[in-house]
Amino acid sequence: QAVSEYAKNHVASACYLRGFTDDAGQVEVFSMDPRVPARRRKPDNVGHRRNFWGQDAALRRHTERMLTEIESDARDVLLDVPVNWPPSDELSERAPMLQFLAIHVIRTPGWKQLLGQLAERWVLEHADEGPGDLTLEAKLELARSHRWAVETLESEIPVLASMFGSMHWTLVRFSEP
């Protein structure tokens, strides 16, 4: 059976994971299940969930392309961090890093689960509000949808990036890798 396009949805950027590879270009992958032994894999093959953004291939493609664009913009900034610290105050140079940090906070299984719970609770508490033609069941279905999660992800990236940009940053270096 052929794997559908964009079915592997990354929740951790391969470009970031490459910073933790060994000489063979692999990272050590551990399972939450203690019975599963650790294994070594290429960064492109880890840090993803199958159909994380749902069954709609167009929605997955849209989301992965949007996230890939942010990751691509941040890749050079990440590689430059140890050499050019602290980061420039120029927004054009800081924005890729800030957006990159934001997506790693909110494109996680935990964020997605919390988003669904909060949206569902809001719908139940405000059932009389919002679009008048939708039934309570339709509102709940919308709140639980992958499309809602993606739209919220897109709207929250600039909010979190702005918060990160307002913080003081310190680079911590270790004597060993």
Distance from C-alpha of 11 to C-alpha of 64, rounded to nearest angstrom: 10
For residues 171 and 17, which has the higher predicted lDDT (pLDDT)? 17
Q: What is the pLDDT of residues 97-137, one digit of tens each?
A: 899 999 999 999 999 999 999 999 999 998 777 667 888 89
pLDDT tens, 32-89? 899 999 999 999 999 989 999 999 999 999 999 999 999 999 988 888 887 887 777 7
Q: From the CA atom positions of the chain, what is the Rg in Å? A: 19
Flag whether the pTM goes above 0.85: no
Give per-residue pLDDT as tens, 47-57. 989 999 999 99
- 100's CB contacts (< 8 A; 6+ apart) are 13, 16, 70, 71, 73, 74, 77, 78
> Count of residues for the chain?
177
CA 73 from centroid of its chain's CA atoms? 15
